[in-house]
């Protein structure tokens, strides 16, 4: 099978170091991967092409790159599945500086991992034998520990694109791997210190829920789902004094009481009713909305039968706790 | 064709122009919309992060109502589409469905599992057909350069959104733009996040997303952006001035709801489409359109 | 000046375990690896880790016996005893570090069956045990305060007056050459799988440490013992875990017969790897395979079990050959997988070179003898990694850094590398030389071997070594020059290849992984001994060493 690889090249030592595109024609097996094609280029045509790769079986996490614009493992991507008119576009990952060709600088990635204290912290003495834990708990964790730190989620994270300080999907999934571990934290397996730290700015509440990370993760780790679970854990553990937590609560209350969203009250409730400076910041937008006839209804009418919605909340959530 | 209509909260709240615009173009397309007045909010992913079962139960309730009407569901919000599709995907598990139905029994509802909620965007392509839409285009937006902006939930995750069976959904908005006679401005941000979900949590980042995508499209020569998601519209339009201030440069890229753009191409008036309700002025766009119509 | 009491080369499980142990013993410790630690090949260990836990009614002696038998009586029984006795605590340590081992109904560590063992004593995390352990070990490494040189390539070992004094290393990111001083050096550089083509091994498994130690005068042992794994994928040769058979999968010939009943009527598919690989190769040679493969059949295991315990290999099958093991059989064949042989060490990881240690796959203690049992390799890495780290840290206390002229050493190494870069283009390619070697090794040193074939390979190798002298490095740059790294690695691989072929040719019996068609029987009288190979004046020199026998006298192996 013939493939044209359109590769973004970059040589920092060139006279004019700028990224440029280069096409390579290679012939690979019908079920060959994008990595097979790249290795062929490197071995048979151009030894100056730099990329990281090692295991060829989606376990070492070396060969993540953008294939047709989205982060993926080259060794897990069959060429036939991504060819567009015989062409496959390959670029280095996003949100990380390029070192050379397809090799990116992972320092930022690892710095974020280090920020979440990435090792088990058990309060109290260790048991002599193994910790007793349910298989379900371990299987659940294995869904997260199967993360191979390839960087795909970080590459395509929409928040990191605008804010490099965000902890990001990989580090937050790593954090969840500990907060959800019955062996981490206090005797009940609650990792309060971790959750408190994660509630700070650049942490769990900064995720936009765009699902890019879930989509590109080659191992099914679903980092965003872990971030959502962390939010829930943090609120459960009592860390509710954030716009994010208030937003979730206000949203939930609105639907519970009226069946639909009271947008007008969602904003002040999220930023905090007493947070005057933030509220004043929204005033010009509110006035603009008002003058353009875009203001949500001042009187938020309940839906017909909205009490049935409220009842579902009661039934699913159980009695309200505080 | 007749549908159980699920307009979502925002088309009746922060984007009140969307609802009438939708009604008008659906009339032209012979799409009959049957309201489901008691259908609740989908949870928008927010309820789901707190309690997925709760969110899925609310959506199953809506699905059951549509089944009772024996009508397919039509929505006009990318977020509603995504959240409903994800719920429906999970509800394919019979055990889970039975559990959810347990919560609905008191209201006399039962979801049998046959709902197939579809955004108007998909309905136009899959049920109505672009040929039919084309016959209704009396004022093609020729020469107008439109940048598509999908909204996260109508492009991810692929398995819930059935892209395997419907690969055309991934280019549906571009197809609409072409059918109404405009030119597609392709740009990297088209399937990225508008920033709305973190508006009240990290406004700075939210605004940075607005400016990033609008500036990218603008710099590629877009006259306007078109979106099937009212949440994206809210952020990209209402907050564009603030985003521009943060970015330190003017943007002024009008953001059109998809039905508004279609309506204009059908010859409906800008007033009827609610274009005056936008924060970013649509006047230059309309002048351009008027000139085209006049010429 | 970069200097450390203990310098560990290689950051897989053995290396990180060694570094953590050395640091915990109070030594200033650094670890250097040509890839980031979590990219190491320990990742690829899928099935699990063996340990006899007494609270489960198991006994380390049973484990030791199975290992001795699995080794075809070439493993050193004193070393095997050490490993099997230490296994329980080593495993519990890993659990305490945070490994998410699967559990049984009581919430204790759960087991699965594995090849060559009479009871289930393999502890596991789904089918990615190695990856799960490697990442947890890296977490502990972060915590330990060990200095990490990530993506640094060790190009030479420096020895002055018979005492190790450090290494020369290339920072791949910048192309800078550095000297790193060390009182003790521990090689944990993994196997040399890429000497063969295909191989289950990652592209980084190029025998660097084995070659560096060998060239410095270290003894290598059992180099002829190269394990061919019974289930490697058609085409790429990627590994499909023994866990599949551990969970009950069948091996089928082209007509759907479970041919293992002819070869191992009791253990069937769970006989030791050498036995199963020979059975497969025999069937394939007899025309009972399809396209050089037989089939692995997991379909009867059911979707639920596959998704819980074998999900990653299922993905690999789908990704690489388009077969879903839930509903399809998978075409597999024996493929080069593991080096039982390597740098000769004692039970504390010491080599014959003062201050130089080795642990993990690059070492030969020897606990695997002629054939390693599945799930004993992870155990080997952590037990002997820890022992080496402890011993090296202790040894470092009583020695000083050996003085050497660092600037001169750096200049010399830079010059050597520059010479490589300056080679003129000549039409030859690094990959062509590597493939020539890999093909020849896989043709003549695979499951079945004979004199003629091995002689042919030795001839091929001497020719390839000549070509290697002039093979050009295309990339002349400094930043992330992987082309240069490949050239250096190719040299190391060729350094490993000849001792493998020479040892195999010398051993005139069939034992463990070595099956000679010209000497088909095991000959305990003459060949129950280790082959030791060392660099001599004109070429590698072979000698012999006795096998340690403590409790178990050799018997005929039946599974």
pLDDT in tens, C470-486: 999 999 999 999 999 99
Question: Rounded CA gap, A221 and A154, in Å?
Answer: 13
Chains touching B (at least 3 CB pairs under 8 A) are: A
Q: How far apart are alpha carbons C252 and C254 in whole angstroms?
A: 7
SS3 C153: strand
A182 at interface of C, judged by CB pairs closer than 8 A: no
Query: Helices A223-236 and A243-258 sit at what angle, rounded to 10 degrees?
Result: 90
Q: How far apart are CA C63 and CA C65, in angstroms?
A: 5
pLDDT recorded at residue A89 = 98
Q: Which of B12, B40, B200 sits opposite A271 (nearest CB)?
A: B200
- pLDDT on residue A14: 96
Alpha-carbon distance of C477 to C123, in angstroms, equals 46
User: Over pLDDT 70: what percentage of chain C?
Assistant: 100
Per DSSP, B234 falls in state: I
How many residues can be counted in chain C?
559
Q: Nearest residue on chain A to B151, judged by CA atoms?
A: A210
Question: Would you say C354 and C163 are in contact if contact means Cβ atoms under 8 Å apart?
Answer: yes
Check residue B198 and report its DSSP letter.
Answer: G
In this structure, what are the phi and psi dihedrals at residue C163, rounded to the nearest 5 degrees?
A: -115, 135
Chains B and A touch (3+ CB pairs under 8 A): yes
CB contact under 8 Å between C430 and A43, yes or no, is yes
- pLDDT digit string, tens, across residues C449-459: 999 999 999 99
Q: What is the chain C residue with the closest CA to A81?
A: C319
Residues of chain B with pLDDT under 50: 294-295
According to DSSP, the residues that pair with B4 across neighbouring strands are: B34, B73
pLDDT of residue B177: 98
Which of B54, B153, B200 lies closest to A317 in CB terms? B54
Q: What is the pTM of this model?
A: 0.95
Residue showing tokens 């971790």: A194
Interchain proximity A311–B205, CB inside 8 Å: no
Alpha helix ranges (H) inside C117-164: 129-144
| Tokens coding B127 | 């049920």
User: CB-based contacts of A51: which residues, under 8 Å, 6+ apart?
Assistant: A38, A42, A63, A65, A74, A101, A102, A103, C482
Q: C487 to chain A: which residues are within 8 Å by CB?
A: none
pLDDT (average), residues C258-278: 96
Q: Residues B156, A210: contact at Cβ < 8 Å?
A: yes
Residue A238 has pLDDT above 70, yes or no: yes
Rounded CA-CA distance B270/B220 in Å is 25
Within 8 A of A232 by CB-CB distance, chain B residues are 49-51
C125 contacts in chain A (CB < 8 Å): 138, 142, 145
pLDDT higher than threshold 70 for residue A243 = yes
The answer to whether residue C513 scores a pLDDT higher than 60 is yes
Which of A231, A235, A270 has the CB atom closest to B200's CB atom?
A270
- Would strands A87-91 and A64-67 be described as parallel, antiparallel, or unpaired? antiparallel
> pLDDT tens digits, residue range C281-315?
999 999 999 999 999 999 999 999 999 999 999 99
pLDDT of residue B292: 57
**Residue C401: both structure tokens together:** 């850094």
A103 close to C (CB below 8 A): yes
**C173: annotated active-site residue:** no
Query: Per-residue pLDDT averaged across C78-83, rounded?
Result: 98
- pLDDT on residue A8: 98
d(CA C399, CA C421): 38
Whether residue A320 has pLDDT greater than 70? no
Q: Is the ipTM of this complex over 0.90?
A: yes
Distance in Å, alpha carbon of B14 to nearest chain A alpha carbon: 5
Dump pLDDT digits (tens) for C383-414.
999 999 999 999 999 999 988 899 999 999 99
| Residue A130 C-alpha, separation from nearest chain C C-alpha, in angstroms | 6
Q: Which two tokens stand for residue A295?
A: 């203001």
Contact across the interface for C322 and A51, Cβ inside 8 Å: no
Write down the pLDDT at residue A322: 44
Q: Is C479 in CB contact (< 8 Å) with chain A?
A: yes
Whole-number percent of chain A with pLDDT over 70:
99
Q: Residue C104 CB: number of other CB atoms within 10 A?
A: 11
**Overall residue count recorded for chain B in this entry:** 295
Active site residue C229: yes
Min Cα distance B242 → chain A (Å) is: 8
Does residue A44 surpass a pLDDT of 70?
yes
Buried/exposed code over C540-549 (b: 16+ C-beta within 10 A; e: otherwise): bebeeeebee
Interface contact flag, B104 A312, Cβ < 8 Å: yes
Answer yes or no: do C110 and A135 touch at CB < 8 A.
yes
pLDDT surpassing 90 at residue C67: yes
Closest-CA distance of chain C to residue A173, Å: 14
Determine the residue among A247, A316, A318 to mutate to test chain B binding: the one whose Cβ has the most chain B Cβ atoms within 10 Å.
A316
Summarised one tens digit per residue, pLDDT across range A169-211 is 999 999 999 999 999 999 999 999 999 999 999 999 999 999 9
């Amino acid at each position: 099978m013939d493939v044209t690889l359109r590769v973004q090249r970059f040589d920092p030592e060139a006279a004019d170091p700028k990224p440029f595109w280069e096409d390579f024609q290679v012939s690979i097996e019908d079920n060959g991967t994008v990595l097979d094609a790249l290795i062929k280029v490197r071995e048979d045509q151009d030894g100056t092409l730099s990329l990281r790769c090692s295991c060829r079986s989606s376990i070492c996490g070396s060969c993540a790159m953008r294939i047709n614009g989205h982060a993926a493992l080259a060794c897990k991507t069959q060429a036939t599945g991504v060819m567009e008119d015989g062409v496959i576009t390959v670029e280095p990952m996003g949100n990380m500086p390029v070192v050379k060709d397809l090799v990116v600088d992972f320092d930022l990635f690892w710095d974020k991992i280090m920020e979440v204290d990435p090792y088990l912290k058990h309060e109290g003495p260790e048991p002599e034998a193994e910790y007793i834990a349910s298989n379900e708990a371990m299987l659940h964790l294995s869904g997260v520990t199967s993360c191979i730190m390839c960087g795909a989620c970080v590459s395509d994270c929409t928040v990191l694109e605008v804010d490099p300080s965000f902890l990001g999907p990989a580090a937050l999934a790593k954090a969840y791997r500990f907060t959800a571990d019955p062996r981490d934290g206090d005797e009940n397996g609650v990792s309060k210190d971790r959750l408190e730290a994660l509630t700070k700015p650049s942490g769990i509440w900064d995720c936009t829920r765009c699902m890019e990370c879930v989509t590109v993760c080659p191992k099914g780790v679903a980092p965003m789902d872990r971030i959502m679970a962390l939010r829930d854990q943090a609120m459960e553990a009592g860390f509710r004094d954030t716009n994010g937590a208030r937003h979730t609560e206000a949203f939930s209350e609105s639907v519970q009481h009226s069946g639909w969203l009271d947008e007008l009250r969602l904003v002040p409730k999220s930023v905090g009713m007493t947070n005057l400076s933030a509220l004043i910041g929204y005033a010009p937008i509110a006035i603009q909305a008002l003058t353009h006839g875009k203001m949500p209804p001042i009187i938020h009418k309940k839906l017909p039968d909205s009490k049935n919605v409220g009842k579902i909340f009661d039934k699913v959530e159980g009695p309200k706790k505080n | 064709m007749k549908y159980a209509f699920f307009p979502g909260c925002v088309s009746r709240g922060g984007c009140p122009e969307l609802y009438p615009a939708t009604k008008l173009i659906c009339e032209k397309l012979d799409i009959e919309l049957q309201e489901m007045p008691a259908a609740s909010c989908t949870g928008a992913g927010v309820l789901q992060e707190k309690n997925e079962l709760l969110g899925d139960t609310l959506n199953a309730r809506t699905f059951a109502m549509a089944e009772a009407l024996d009508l397919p569901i039509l929505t006009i919000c990318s977020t509603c589409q995504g959240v409903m599709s994800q719920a429906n995907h999970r509800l394919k598990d019979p055990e889970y469905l039975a559990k959810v139905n347990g919560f609905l029994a008191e209201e006399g509802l039962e979801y049998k599992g046959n709902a197939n909620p579809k955004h108007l965007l998909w309905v136009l392509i899959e049920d109505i057909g672009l040929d039919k839409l084309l016959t209704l285009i009396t004022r093609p937006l020729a020469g107008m350069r439109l940048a598509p902006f999908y909204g996260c939930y109508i492009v991810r995750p692929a398995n819930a959104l059935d892209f395997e069976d419907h690969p055309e959904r991934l280019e549906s908005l571009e197809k609409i733009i072409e059918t109404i006679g405009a030119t597609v401005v392709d740009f990297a941000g088209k399937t990225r996040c508008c920033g709305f979900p973190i508006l009240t949590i990290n406004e700075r980042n939210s605004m940075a997303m607005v400016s990033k995508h609008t500036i990218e499209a603008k710099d590629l020569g877009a006259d306007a952006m078109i979106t099937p998601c009212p949440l994206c519209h809210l952020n990209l339009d209402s907050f564009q001035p603030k985003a521009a201030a943060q970015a330190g440069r003017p943007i002024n890229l009008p953001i059109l709801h998809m039905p508004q753009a279609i309506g204009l191409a059908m010859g409906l008036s800008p007033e009827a489409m609610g274009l005056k309700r936008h924060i970013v002025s649509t006047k230059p766009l309309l002048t351009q359109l008027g000139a085209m119509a006049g010429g | 000046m970069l200097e450390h009491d203990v310098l560990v080369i290689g950051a897989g499980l053995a290396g990180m375990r060694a570094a953590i142990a050395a640091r915990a013993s109070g030594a200033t410790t650094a670890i250097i690896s040509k890839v980031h630690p979590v990219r190491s090949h320990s990742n690829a260990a899928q099935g699990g880790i063996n340990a006899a836990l007494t609270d489960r009614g198991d006994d380390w002696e049973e484990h030791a016996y199975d290992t001795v038998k699995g080794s075809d009586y070439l493993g050193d029984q004193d070393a095997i005893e050490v490993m099997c006795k230490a296994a329980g605590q080593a495993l519990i340590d890993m659990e305490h570090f945070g490994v998410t081992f699967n559990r049984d109904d009581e919430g204790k560590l759960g087991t699965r069956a594995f090849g060559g063992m009479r009871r289930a004593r393999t502890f596991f995390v789904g089918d990615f045990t190695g990856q799960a352990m490697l990442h947890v070990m890296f977490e502990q490494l972060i915590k330990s305060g060990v200095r990490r040189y990530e993506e640094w390539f060790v190009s030479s070992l420096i020895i002055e007056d018979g005492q190790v004094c450090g290494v020369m290393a290339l920072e791949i990111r910048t192309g800078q050459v550095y000297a790193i001083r060390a009182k003790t050096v521990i090689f944990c550089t993994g196997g040399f799988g890429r000497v063969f083509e295909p191989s289950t091994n990652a592209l980084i498994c190029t025998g660097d440490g084995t070659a560096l130690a060998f060239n410095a005068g270290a003894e290598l042992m059992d180099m002829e013992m190269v394990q061919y794994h019974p289930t490697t994928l058609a085409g790429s040769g990627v590994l499909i875990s023994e866990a599949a058979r551990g969970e009950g999968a069948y091996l089928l010939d082209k007509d759907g017969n479970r041919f293992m009943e002819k070869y191992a009527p009791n253990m069937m598919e769970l006989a030791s790897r050498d036995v199963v690989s020979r059975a497969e190769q025999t069937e394939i040679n007899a025309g009972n395979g399809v396209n050089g493969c037989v089939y692995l059949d997991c379909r009867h295991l059911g979707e639920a079990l596959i998704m819980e315990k074998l999900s990653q290999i299922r993905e690999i099958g789908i990704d690489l050959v388009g077969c879903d093991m839930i509903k399809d059989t998978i075409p597999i064949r024996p493929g080069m997988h593991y080096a039982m042989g390597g740098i000769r060490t004692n039970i504390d990881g010491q080599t014959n070179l003062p201050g130089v240690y080795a642990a993990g796959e690059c070492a030969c203690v020897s606990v695997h003898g002629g054939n390693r049992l599945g799930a004993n390799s992870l155990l080997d890495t952590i037990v002997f990694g820890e022992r080496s780290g402890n011993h090296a840290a202790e040894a470092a206390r009583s020695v000083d850094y050996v003085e050497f002229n660092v600037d001169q050493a750096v200049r010399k190494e830079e010059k050597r590398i520059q010479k490589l870069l300056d080679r003129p283009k000549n039409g030859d390619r690094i990959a062509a030389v590597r493939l020539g070697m890999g093909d020849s090794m896989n043709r003549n040193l695979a499951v079945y071997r004979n004199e003629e074939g091995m002689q042919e390979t030795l001839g091929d190798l001497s020719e390839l070594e000549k070509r290697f002298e002039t093979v050009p490095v295309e990339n002349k740059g400094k930043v992330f020059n992987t082309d240069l790294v490949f050239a250096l690695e190719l040299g190391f691989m060729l350094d490993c290849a000849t001792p493998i072929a020479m040892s195999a040719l010398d051993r005139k019996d069939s034992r463990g992984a070595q099956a000679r068609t010209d000497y088909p029987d095991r000959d305990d009288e003459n060949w129950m001994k280790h082959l030791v190979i060392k660099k001599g004046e004109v070429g590698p020199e072979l000698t012999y060493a006795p096998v340690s026998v403590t409790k178990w006298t050799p018997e005929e192996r039946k599974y």
